[in-house]
């Protein structure tokens, strides 16, 4: 008996839910078949801009309107938002930096995207004003951004070269005047042991209206194997008062440097010159700093040891 009652109860509940679902469907159909007036949005897409002008940043990106239609149509156009194509060259003239899009133009485009004629009212903004800014040109320096690891013993010779070293940017005056240099995309290389010659794109500035020409530059860098070398050099004293003698401790300084193997044979101790300027001495602690006033252009990573020289004064 308990099982029969339970089965009967379950069937009753299922029957109730079935009829409730049918009633709900009829209610939705009845409700959504009525006409409603709802606020809707359409996206604006600006097209065919002239080469001498760009869109101002405060132009409208959407337009709102009231649509009278049945509930199903309103729900459909809520998800499938219409798009208005504003043909700039159709209204723009060089004598004006702004223009109004005729209301009829907007209505025609909206109505053409509906399944049938539906009532559209209360456009906003009305009128739709489109503003343009004149384009100016400016030449700016290109700064290379790199992430380069060389193979052990290899280095870049002198400085990386950017070809061209500058580009022309075009855009609204307010945006272009803020830009003095522009970066490349990051060039990432590993285990480099050959000359570098890579095309790299320009990283566009964070301003949509600014264009760059050219959009790519060539990064070139000669790479060579380097050797570390040392010379021990005597120190020459300058600006020493007449009649004064000094004893330097130490009297010689070791110069350590890296140089390309290709250029090593051309370098000798004669290519270096070390001085200590007595006028720049630390008189309280009796020491001077050695200065390298002559060195080969191709020597890099130069270091001196020691970095300071003590002195003792002998007067005649």
Q: Where is pLDDT greater, at 121 or 301?
A: 301
CA distance 53 to 211: 12
CA distance 154 to 132: 53
Domain at 281, CATH number: 2.170.120.30
The SS3 of residue 252 is strand
Q: Where is pLDDT greater, at 312 or 111?
A: 312
CA distance 111 to 182: 46
Q: What per-residue confidence (pLDDT) applies to 16?
A: 47
Residue 284 within any structural domain of the chain: yes
For 223-247, write each residue's pLDDT tens digit: 988 888 999 999 999 998 888 888 8
60-64, 81-85, 207-211, 264-268: range with lowest mean pLDDT: 207-211
Residue 260 within any structural domain of the chain: yes
- Helices assigned H by DSSP within 65-209: 71-79, 88-91, 103-112, 173-176
For 152-199, write each residue's pLDDT tens digit: 889 888 889 999 999 999 888 878 888 899 999 999 999 999 999 999
Q: What per-residue confidence (pLDDT) applies to 124?
A: 83
The SS3 of residue 155 is strand
The pTM for the full model equals 0.57
Count of domains for the chain: 3
Confidence tier at 291 by pLDDT (50, 70, 90): very high
Instruction: Clarify whether residues 55 and 111 are in a common domain.
Output: yes
Which residues span the domain enclosing 90? 27-126
Domain at 142, CATH number: 2.170.120.40
How remote is the C-alpha of 32 from its chain's centroid? 50
Residue 12 within any structural domain of the chain: no
Instruction: Clarify whether residues 45 and 94 are in a common domain.
Output: yes
Instruction: Clarify whether residues 68 and 140 are in a common domain.
Output: no
């Amino acid at each position: 008996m308990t099982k029969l009652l339970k089965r009967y109860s379950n069937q009753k509940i299922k029957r109730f839910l079935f009829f409730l679902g049918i009633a709900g469907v009829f209610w939705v159909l009845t409700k959504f078949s009525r006409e409603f007036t709802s606020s809707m949005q359409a996206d604006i897409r600006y097209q065919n801009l002239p080469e001498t002008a760009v869109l101002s940043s405060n132009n409208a990106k959407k337009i709102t309107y009231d649509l009278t239609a049945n509930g199903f149509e309103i729900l459909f156009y809520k998800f499938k938002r219409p798009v208005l194509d504003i043909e700039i060259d159709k209204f723009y003239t060089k004598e004006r930096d702004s223009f109004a899009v005729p209301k009829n133009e907007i209505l025609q485009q909206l109505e053409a995207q509906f399944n049938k004629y539906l009532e559209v009212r209360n456009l906003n903004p009305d009128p739709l004003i489109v503003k343009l800014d004149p384009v100016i040109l400016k030449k700016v320096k290109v700064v290379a951004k790199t992430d380069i690891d060389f193979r052990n013993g290899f280095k870049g010779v002198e400085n990386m070269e950017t070809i061209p070293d500058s580009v022309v940017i075009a855009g609204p005056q307010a945006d272009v005047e803020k830009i003095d240099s522009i970066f490349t995309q990051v060039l990432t290389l590993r285990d480099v042991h050959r000359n570098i010659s890579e095309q790299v794109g320009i990283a566009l500035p964070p301003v949509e209206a600014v264009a760059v020409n050219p959009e790519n530059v060539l990064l070139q860098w000669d790479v060579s194997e380097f050797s570390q070398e040392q010379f021990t050099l005597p120190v020459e004293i300058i600006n020493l008062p007449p009649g004064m003698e000094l004893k330097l401790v130490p009297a010689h300084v070791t110069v350590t440097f890296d140089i390309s193997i290709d250029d090593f044979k051309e370098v000798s101790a004669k290519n270096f010159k070390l001085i200590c300027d007595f006028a720049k001495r630390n008189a309280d602690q009796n020491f001077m700093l050695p200065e390298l006033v002559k060195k080969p252009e191709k020597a890099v990573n130069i270091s001196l040891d020691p970095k300071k020289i003590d002195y003792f004064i002998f007067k005649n």
